[in-house]
Amino acid sequence: MSKLYKSLFEFPREERFVSGHRLCAGCTIGPVMRLLTKIAGKDTIFVNATGCLEVSSTPYPYTSWRNPWIHVAFENAGAVASGVEAALKILKKKGVLEKDIKVIAIGGDGGTVDIGFQALSGMLERGHKVMYVLYDNEAYMNTGIQRSGATPYGAWTTTTPAGKVWRGEWRPKKDIDSIVAAHRVPYVATASPAYPIDLANKFKKGLDYTEEGPTFVHILIPCTTGWRFDSSLGIKLARLAVETGMWILYEIDHGEFRVTYPVKRRKPIKEYLKPQGRFRHLTEEEIEKIQKLVDKEVERINRIVGKEVIGPVA
Amino acid sequence: MASLGIVKEVKRPKPLSTNSAIAYATKDLDVDVVSAYPITPQTTVVEKIADFIANGELDAEMIHVESEHSALSAAIGAAATGARTFTATASQGLALMHEILHIASGMRTPIVMSVAMRALSAPISIWNDHSDVMNARDSSWIIYFVSSAQEAYDTIIQAFKLAEDSEILLPVMVSYDGYVMSHTIEPVITEERDDVLKFAPKRPFSYRLDPDKPVTMGPIADPNWFYEIKYQQVIAMEKALVKAREIDEEFKKTFGRGYGIYECFMCDDAEALIVAKTSYATTLKTILPRMWEKGYKVGLLRLRLYRPFPVEDFKNILDKVNAILVIDRAISYGAPLQGPLAMEFSSLISREDLNLNLTSVVAGIGQRRMIDSDFENLVKLAWESRTKKFDKTIFYGVRT
């Protein structure tokens, strides 16, 4: 394992995800990609599923990517990355390629937990040396805020509207990280753009461990248009998600579960929900129900760790 | 085949099915990546390749993908990285790939795929017809129909040379009849790997994913760009028609076997032609000589290169006859002519102002049995069609 980052000043200076892209103002995937490409460096091939990031960063004939980058379709980033990795492996073996080239696949929540789930599972199960980065904005934002398997309980989307009968999404968010971990891959982590050093080190570990097999980094990406909040609040909301226990930062390093950002006293979930238009319809009782769901998840995590790493609501 | 002096010695043929012959071709081409999913009747292609890799006879990465959709997706990733990439499928597998077929050609990835043609569900049928490939005909893949195991072996080699040509860069499908060919053993001459690689040298294409020369592949193109990019595929297809013929000629000079891009059998003095492909064409070759003896002067136009369509050649051939009978092994439901290939010949006839009768016959759907007497009936029908017009598609052999 190479040295981990301790401060922002240690991040590589070279820009590899460059300006001019068409992401929404205030979108949090831009800074995350900027960081990811810096840490990955020059000798990395990126495979991108269809989604916000893909369409916004490559409007022909322009591109924001200074690395080799490929997009094929929505549901197959895992498969395309498998093909790239297999090709690199055999071309190196046959002496056509000399250097080591890393492979990173990137998909949104729809492209990963729903339509791309099978291709992802295949890639993980076959042991391809790829780091898969899931940027999770909790709905199909690129097509206009439709519900996905990663949409949280209570959230309004255009296909789970809040009306007299429906009250937004009524099913809990799919636990993709446990499913990925069940493939017994060397590294699984959750991360947040509000904690860049934690995020950078997870990218670093994820990339280093690809020597052994596939790795997975799951980032919660606040979406100004889909979550309906002021475009200046993205990072703040990402932080509130962690501080309220809605999003717990952890890693599973060779089966070893570790919370990387313990929270002694949680803020009430209301503080996370309030600035977001997608939760505006919720009543006090419904907010209370979400609080209970969060409490239950915190309990589950504390039980795995074996001690209270995420504390009670202050 | 007359020796041209370049063929070094008389080679002993191996007893191979078409599926095995294709596996041998990938071995002799030193394919780098094989990405495939099992489906009847394609499976033994991949099994044989797996044997070659397992025994160290071929140094390749086999990606045991979890679906055909992923098979072709991974193939695109591998080809884009610069590997010589092969896949194989049939029927439902080809249908599941459909989305990615268009992307493989749109991204100009030189993948070669063999298709052991099989009917499409429902009802489910594992038997042979051509509905799978006909369903994929507009996906901008170069498509060959081959008629023997030897032709399959030779065409896979030609296909890689064609696909990887920097002027072409289109994926190629080599199709043949499931079971009837895929599982029938025939004598096949295979070539030395060095000779094959000399004929079809590996040259990773210049727009591959290379950190030293980074490119963005598969971007989004707005209405101001999309059309031109698609039109480049039109041009590449046109060039492929010329190139495919040249490659076949070069192949003949090198290995002593050639096929042209189509075959006209007993066409001289023929008054009518039957258009057929794959095993039906082979069967017709055994029927036609004895039908000529009985006075039925009917020739065979065997389709080999289907996309791009050899328009000029076919125009000249059709110009000399009074009638053609087109056998389709797929149905275009509700279309003006319900044989898709018949419609293409019909459009050729009207575009070129040719004066001949066209008869559309659908046969062998889901491998409905067709024996010699059935082909004799079709020869008679073709003969009759010189003076009689059959307006509607004839569904031969169906119980109504």
Q: How far is B165 from chain A (nearest CA, A)?
A: 19
- Residue A253 lies in domain: 8-305
Decide the pairing of beta strands A187-191 and A250-253.
antiparallel
B203 touches chain A (CB under 8 A): no
Name the phi and psi angles at B300, rounded to 5.
Answer: -125, 125
Residue A3 domain-assigned?
Answer: no
User: What is the per-residue pLDDT across B279-295, written as a single tens digit (0 to 9) for each?
Assistant: 999 999 999 999 999 99
How many structural domains is chain A composed of?
1
- Count CB neighbours of B316 within 10 A: 12
Q: Which of A91, A94, A122 lies at the smallest CB-CB distance from B66?
A: A122
Residue A35 domain-assigned?
Answer: yes
Q: What is the CA radius of gyration of chain B?
A: 21
Residue A80 domain-assigned?
Answer: yes
User: What is the per-residue pLDDT across B122-153, written as a single tens digit (0 to 9) for each?
Assistant: 999 999 999 999 999 999 999 999 999 999 99
**pLDDT, averaged across chain B:** 96
The interface pTM score, or ipTM, of the predicted complex is: 0.97
**Position B34, amino acid:** V
Residue A2 domain-assigned?
Answer: no
Q: Which of B65, B81, B215 lies at the smallest CB-CB distance from A88?
A: B81
Residue A200 domain-assigned?
Answer: yes
**Residue of chain B whose alpha carbon sits nearest to that of A121:** B66
Sheet holding B262-265, edge to edge: B262-265, B298-303, B272-277, B323-328, B357-362, B394-395
CB contact under 8 A, B73 and A121: no
> Any idea what DSSP says for residue B222?
-
B242 touches chain A (CB under 8 A): no
User: What is the per-residue pLDDT across B86-130, written as a single tens digit (0 to 9) for each?
Assistant: 999 999 999 999 999 999 999 999 999 999 999 999 999 999 999
User: What is the per-residue pLDDT across B181-208, written as a single tens digit (0 to 9) for each?
Assistant: 999 999 999 999 999 999 999 976 678 9
CB contact under 8 A, A69 and B216: yes
Range(s) of chain B covered by CATH 3.40.50.970: 14-255
Q: The CATH number of the domain where A288 resides is what?
A: 3.40.50.970
Range(s) of chain B covered by CATH 3.40.50.920: 262-395
Q: How far is A123 from chain B (nearest CA, A)?
A: 8
**Residue of chain B whose alpha carbon sits nearest to that of A72:** B218
Query: A42: which chain B residues are within 8 Å (Cβ-Cβ)?
Result: 211
Compute the distance between CA of residue B256 and CA of residue B1 in angstroms, rounded to an integer: 7
User: What is the per-residue pLDDT across A158-181, written as a single tens digit (0 to 9) for each?
Assistant: 999 999 999 999 999 999 999 999
**Residue of chain A whose alpha carbon sits nearest to that of B101:** A72
Q: Per-residue pLDDT tens, chain B, 400 aa: give them.
A: 445 555 556 789 999 999 999 999 999 999 999 999 999 999 999 999 999 999 999 999 999 999 999 999 999 999 999 999 999 999 999 999 999 999 999 999 999 999 999 999 999 999 999 999 999 999 999 999 999 999 999 999 999 999 999 999 999 999 999 999 999 999 999 999 999 999 999 976 678 999 999 999 999 999 999 999 999 999 999 999 999 999 999 999 999 999 999 999 999 999 999 999 999 999 999 999 999 999 999 999 999 999 999 999 999 999 999 999 999 999 999 999 999 999 999 999 999 999 999 999 999 999 999 999 999 999 999 999 999 999 999 999 999 9
Compute the distance between CA of residue A209 and CA of residue B142 in angstroms, rounded to an integer: 41
Mention the CATH class of domain B262-395.
alpha beta
**Rounded (10°) CA dihedral A87, A88, A89, A90:** 50
**pLDDT, averaged across chain A:** 97
Q: How far is A266 from chain B (nearest CA, A)?
A: 42
Residues 322-381 of B with CB under 8 A from A: none
Residue A283 domain-assigned?
Answer: yes
B115 touches chain A (CB under 8 A): no
Q: How far is A287 from chain B (nearest CA, A)?
A: 40
Instruction: Give the predicted TM-score (pTM) of the model.
Output: 0.97
B177 touches chain A (CB under 8 A): no
Query: A68: which chain B residues are within 8 Å (Cβ-Cβ)?
Result: 209-211, 214-215, 217
B209 touches chain A (CB under 8 A): yes
Residue A312 domain-assigned?
Answer: no
CA angle A141, A117, B82 (to 5 degrees): 95
Compute the distance between CA of residue B298 and CA of residue B301 in angstroms, rounded to an integer: 10
Query: A125: which chain B residues are within 8 Å (Cβ-Cβ)?
Result: 66
Q: Is CATH 3.90.79.10 the right assignment for the domain spanning B14-255? A: no
DSSP conformation letters of A280-309: TT--HHHHHHHHHHHHHHHHHHHHHHTS-S
Residue A313 domain-assigned?
Answer: no
Q: Which residue has the tokens 């079809």?
A: B200
CB contact under 8 A, A65 and B216: yes
- Count CB neighbours of A4 within 10 A: 13
